[in-house]
Amino acid sequence: MVKHQALVIGAGPAGLCGAIAMAENGVDVLVVDEGLEPGGQLPKQTHKFFGHEGFFASLRGFEIGKILIERARKNGVKLLLKTTVAGIYEDAIVLYNRELEKTQELKVDYILIATGASEKFISFKKNYLPGIYGAGAVQTLMNQYRTLPGKNFIIIGAGNIGLILGYQLLQAGANVKAIIEASSKVGGYAVHANKIKRMGVPIILNHTIVEAIGEEKVNGAIIAKVDASFKPIPGTEREFVVDTICLAVGLQPNVELAAQIGARIEYVPKLGGYVPYRDENMKTSLENVYIAGDLASIEEATTAMIEGYIAGYNIAQKITGKDFSEQITKMKRELVEFRKGPFSQKVREGLKHFNISFSEGGYRTKIQNNEEPVGKLRVKIECPQNIPCNPCETSCPTGAITVGENINGIPHVDYDKCIGCGICVTKCPGLAIFLIQEFEKSSIVGIPYEFELPDENEKVILLDKNGNEIGYGKVEKIVKNNRFHTHIVFLNIPKGFENDVRHFKKIVKNYEEIICRCESITRKEIEDAIEEGFTDFEELRRYLRISMGPCGGRVCRLQTLSIISEKTGIPISELDSGRYRPPSIPLSFKAILNGEDDKNE
């Protein structure tokens, strides 16, 4: 039987931080995880994290995972992957190694259980069809295995997981038809919702899914409006043509091992359902068993890491006999700081069940509305909620942005100090900061952008905050950020649209588009000819035979002139429309010959 001082079950952010806290203080610690790689959900998280830089704010989840794994290994943490804790008994812990297909017995002095949470599911008609996934499964396929399970998606649930998944699917090239939410408001951060909406994805509130359409696989989904009891209202059904339905309806703590070992389990809905009892040091009802992360309460990754450290330092303190109260107190202060905001309200109330209190408030709630200096290149922050996050403040080189005394405060800008450098735009995890500058005839808007970049001087379609097309603009310049991969695309837009334009899309040219049907001439052939210098309609006619077919140009003439205008910038009214030659309609040789016969008579 193998012996270790401490065992950590789960190599997610909470488990890794707990293991690091123990190992850096000399504890012999083994981390067991059933995944292919350590990090829990982090390797599949491609979005930037909120919080402060002490806990990796502005880094993407998979980057945080790599840092924690490297830090754990550097401190001597032993990692055992593809292995499941099959049972916890009084005299031994039994591990099942899937790769070696064998069991192994283990004995430890202390256990930190950080088994995270699993996805909730909801029932609806035909919810057994292939093509219905949990959000986590789609993220695993998409971000770890680079495979999209479908092309057209509908997402059920507008919490942070559903919103983030929608954005990641759009980045991967999928078509997200809608996000459906049963409640009357978006549950996730407004900045996440805004990212989705400005790309044209509707978030439909007060609706739920009632049926998947299809026989052998998903071919569509039917949603319906819900009443105050979340019951579907007959007659309000709507159909969506999709091949994939993603469920992002919440998480529930994985309490099985904690229950099996004998820890006291209680039902606390505000913490996620059944959770183990724990005190403020993350100790369960058992003297040598601690918990951390989503198992303790459904929250976000930063608080999971903090709880992991608190549990780890407490275990290290007991094993080594050394005093780590300073480190523990520091981490508890971090938790207090993070949990003051409105998004921690449920957790604060849930923890009262265990006689653990966290204070609330003390953060700035006022949204800045002072007049901005028109004509100056400056930032425009659209972050209207109290989210625990401050990279905009800490990254600003002039101190122009502040969130106030608490990290949950709404950011304000001192426009006398703002120099329009755009560093905050590239750091903001919510992509909620823009750059604006007005000129005499047009304006500039800098958009945070994480998709395939356009070309400079490329003409694009401008989109407003709800994804509506509101005109055309031109890419003025692009500031690439290869470190954080949030670039800034500066758009030249019509003056007066500075507070409306929040995204753009490329003008997709269909090179299979036939312009001259008589001669089968495509748009690409015409565009290529114009690029070669044939910028006149008559030149194109002679070069490509365009409008020389039976219709005499009735179908293709105006289209061709539009393409010339688009490519050259010359208005159609100033272009030569070409000669109109007879015959105006196709004539057969027989008709002509018959006409000659009549003439001879």
Q: How far apart are CA 211 and CA 225, in angstroms?
A: 13
Q: How far apart are CA 334 and CA 351, in angstroms?
A: 16
Closest CA to 342 of 286, 398, 304, 387: 387
Mean pLDDT of the chain: 93
Beta-bridge partners for 178: 154
Lowest mean pLDDT among 63-72, 448-457, 589-598: 589-598
Predicted confidence at residue 598, as pLDDT, reads: 62
For residues 502-519, give the mean pLDDT: 83
| Per-residue pLDDT tens digits for 89-139 | 888 999 999 888 999 999 999 999 999 999 998 999 999 999 999 999 999
Q: CA angle, corner 4, sides to 3 and 7, nearest 5?
A: 125
φ, ψ for residue 303, nearest 5 deg: -65, -30
Q: Tokens representing 394?
A: 């800490």
Contact 223, 238 (CB under 8 A): yes
Predicted confidence at residue 79, as pLDDT, reads: 96
Say which residue, 592 or 529, is predicted with more confidence. 529
- Alpha helices, DSSP H, located in 110-233: 135-139, 160-171, 190-197
User: Is the predicted pLDDT of residue 520 greater than 90, yes or no?
Assistant: no
Q: How far apart are CA 404 and CA 497, in angstroms?
A: 30
In whole angstroms, how far apart are CA 567 and each of 281, 462, 530, 560?
68, 19, 8, 11
Predicted confidence at residue 562, as pLDDT, reads: 86
Percent of the chain at pLDDT exceeding 70 = 98
Q: How far apart are CA 257 and CA 255, in angstroms?
A: 6
Lowest mean pLDDT among 292-296, 323-327, 377-381, 597-601: 597-601
Contact 58, 65 (CB under 8 A): no
Predicted confidence at residue 16, as pLDDT, reads: 98
Predicted confidence at residue 386, as pLDDT, reads: 96
Please state whether the peptide bond connecting residue 583 to the residue before it is cis, i.e. omega within 30 degrees of 0: yes
Provide the phi-psi class of 49: left if phi over 0, else alpha when psi is between -120 and 50, else beta: beta
Q: How far apart are CA 114 and CA 291, in angstroms?
A: 6
| Per-residue pLDDT tens digits for 236-295 | 999 999 999 999 999 999 999 999 999 999 999 999 999 999 999 999 999 999 999 999
- Residue 28 DSSP symbol: -
Q: Tokens representing 134?
A: 């949990």
- The total number of residues shown for the chain amounts to 601
Predicted confidence at residue 599, as pLDDT, reads: 59
Q: Tokens representing 374?
A: 């028109």
Q: How far apart are CA 15 and CA 296, in angstroms?
A: 12
Q: Which amino acid is at 355?
A: N
Q: CA angle, corner 189, sides to 428 and 163, nearest 5?
A: 95
Predicted confidence at residue 559, as pLDDT, reads: 87
Q: How far apart are CA 441 and CA 438, in angstroms?
A: 8
pTM of the model: 0.83
Closest CA to 200 of 170, 168, 156: 170
Predicted confidence at residue 507, as pLDDT, reads: 84
Contact 210, 232 (CB under 8 A): yes
H/E stretch holding 72 reads helix 61-74
User: Is the predicted pLDDT of residue 601 greater than 60, yes or no?
Assistant: no
Cβ neighbour number for residue 94 with a 10 Å cutoff: 14
Q: CB-based contacts of 573: which residues, under 8 Å, 6+ apart?
A: none
Decide: helix, strand or coil at residue 477.
strand
Calculate the CA 236 to chain-centre distance.
Answer: 30
For residues 432-459, give the mean pLDDT: 95
Contact 374, 353 (CB under 8 A): no
For residues 561-581, give the mean pLDDT: 85
Closest CA to 280 of 255, 310, 306: 310
Q: CB-based contacts of 457: which residues, under 8 Å, 6+ apart?
A: 474, 475
In whole angstroms, how far apart are CA 58 and each of 48, 53, 224, 430, 485?
5, 7, 38, 9, 11
| Per-residue pLDDT tens digits for 329-373 | 999 999 999 999 999 999 999 999 999 999 999 999 999 987 889
For residues 199-219, give the mean pLDDT: 96
Closest CA to 199 of 525, 503, 498, 438: 503
